[in-house]
Amino acid sequence: MNKQHLVRLDEARRARTKLDLAFGGLNIALAGDFFQMPPVGGKPLCTSPPGFREDLKIDLYDDSGYHLWRSFTDVVVLNENVQFTHDPEWGSYVSQARKGQWSPDLVDILNSRILSSGMFLKSMALPNISISPSFASYRCTTFVTPDNRTRQAIINAYTAEVSKKLPRNHYPIRIVVNFNGQLNGLSSKDILDVMFLPGTKLGNMAPYIDLILGMPGVITQNYSVQFDPSTKFKLVEDSGTKLKELVPSSPPEVVFVRFCRLGDFEALPRDGLNDDLPQDVYPVFMFKSQGSTAVVLTYGPGGSKRTVKLNLKQLPFVNAIASTIYKIQDETMESLVADWKAQGSKLNKVC
């Protein structure tokens, strides 16, 4: 949340209650992890606006948001994390690490989890590619990486290995983002450069998504009031639901997914949905980004700067075989493999 979000919340509450009071006179409780990084593209709530200068452009959101933030007076700090109830010792290590206190014992534990090259792909392969009613109970090792490029490289490697184990005449399906012809006229190298960009450089739109039956995924866009980002699901294929399988030659307008935690979505409307669909299966439609995204291409002759503006359309989710550290905060994991480089060192110089 940034200051602009806080101001919009204040405006909406005032409009609803018709009271000219902060947040319309309602009590507001903010919950979150205050160890997180500041919002991307926004200013932290706690920073005061700059002093007045004639040459400085006034940011009303910055000023109003700061004063709204200062109106919060009570802070409740939770000292226990339920995710570590059964392992308080590990929870203590993690809590210290988040404060920058890396003990030699914790470094030894992390170094002991380093895997040899190629080992993880074999251990991650699903024991049975076909879907059974208990498929939601399958658990894979979660790979966490600090950047999206490494995350995508892990997903690509996993997809390649699992593809070798698919039954005969079964293949992954690659859904390429709809560029609406905006790459026409670009060189092959320019197109390749764009396709290798992480989704964060394309307005959180993945340039391509490789779909494999049963592969876990996470929704990335709040494209509907019913679905929030970080909603988790698995791609499904149910012969009993009368869904016809089609291999698309162009991006599909809709895919069907099964949510992993149905209890969170029992209130979702079923109006207009096929009665044969299971209660935990929902359609997810193509999402069009609002506004265009400018992508910087390699420099032209004479060092001239080149950009292309893209208005993309894509399914609003990504595969969740690997994740960045900011996307696993609500997960309770049985095991974890992290990108750890401090081999043989007692000091954390990587973090």
pLDDT in tens, 149-186: 788 888 888 888 888 888 887 778 888 888 888 888 88
| Token digits of residue 259 | 């949510």
| Token digits of residue 95 | 């809590």
Residue 130: band (very low, low, confident or very high) from pLDDT cuts 50, 70, 90 = very low
pLDDT score at 121: 42
Q: Are residues 28 and 177 in the same domain?
A: no
Burial status of residue 269 (CB atoms within 10 A of its CB: 0-12, 13-18, 19 or more):
exposed
Residues with Cβ within 8 Å of 325's Cβ and at least 6 positions away in sequence, in order, are 144, 145, 146
Among 3-7, 94-98, 263-267, whose mean pLDDT is lowest?
Answer: 263-267
Is the four-CA dihedral 220, 308, 41, 60 of positive or negative sign? negative
pLDDT score at 336: 58
Domain-embedded: residue 325: yes
Q: Are residues 265 and 331 in the same domain?
A: yes
CB 144, CB 322: distance < 8 Å: yes
Residue 226: band (very low, low, confident or very high) from pLDDT cuts 50, 70, 90 = low
Q: Angle 294-300-301 (CA atoms, 0-180°, nearest 5)?
A: 160
Domain that holds residue 39: 3-70
Average pLDDT estimate for 107-111 = 78
Domain-embedded: residue 208: yes
Residue 110: band (very low, low, confident or very high) from pLDDT cuts 50, 70, 90 = confident
Q: C-alpha dihedral over 78, 84, 87, 92, to 10 degrees?
A: -50
Q: Which of the pair, 207 or 232, is modelled with greater confidence?
A: 207
pLDDT score at 303: 77
pLDDT score at 253: 76
Picking from 47, 70, 93, the residue at the C-terminal end of a domain is 70
- pLDDT surpassing 70 at residue 339: no
pLDDT digit string, tens, across residues 269-307: 555 555 566 777 777 888 887 778 888 888 877 778 888
Q: Which of the pair, 125 or 297, is modelled with greater confidence?
A: 297
Q: Are residues 284 and 209 in the same domain?
A: yes
Q: Rounded CA gap, 197 and 291, in Å?
A: 18
Q: 99-121 as b/e, with b when 16 or more CB fall inside 10 Å?
A: eeebeeebbeebeeeeeeeeebe
Average pLDDT estimate for 336-345 = 55
Residue 11: band (very low, low, confident or very high) from pLDDT cuts 50, 70, 90 = very high
Domain-embedded: residue 91: no
CB 281, CB 241: distance < 8 Å: yes
Domain-embedded: residue 259: yes
Average pLDDT in the chain: 72
- pLDDT surpassing 60 at residue 252: yes
Residue 135: band (very low, low, confident or very high) from pLDDT cuts 50, 70, 90 = very low
Average pLDDT estimate for 24-45 = 73
Residue 338 φ/ψ, nearest 5 degrees: -110, 160
Q: Are residues 208 and 145 in the same domain?
A: yes
pLDDT score at 262: 53
Residue 15: band (very low, low, confident or very high) from pLDDT cuts 50, 70, 90 = very high
Place of tokens 């929030």: 228
Strands (E), the chain: 142-145, 173-176, 208-211, 216-219, 232-235, 254-259, 281-285, 287-288, 293-296, 307-310, 313-314, 317-319, 322-324, 336-338
pLDDT digit string, tens, across residues 43-89: 677 777 776 555 555 567 788 888 898 888 888 887 777 777 778 88
- pLDDT surpassing 90 at residue 231: no
- pLDDT surpassing 70 at residue 261: no
| Token digits of residue 153 | 């490289």
Domain-embedded: residue 84: no
Domain-embedded: residue 275: yes
pLDDT digit string, tens, across residues 316-332: 887 777 777 666 555 55
Distances (CA, A) of 236 to 31, 129, 233, 315: 34, 12, 9, 15
Q: Are residues 159 and 299 in the same domain?
A: yes
Residue 25: band (very low, low, confident or very high) from pLDDT cuts 50, 70, 90 = very high
Q: Rounded CA gap, 236 and 307, in Å?
A: 39
- pLDDT surpassing 70 at residue 203: yes
Q: Are residues 54 and 142 in the same domain?
A: no
- pLDDT surpassing 80 at residue 21: yes
Domains identified in the chain, total number: 2
Domain-embedded: residue 98: no
DSSP-derived pairing of the beta strands 287-288 and 281-285: unpaired
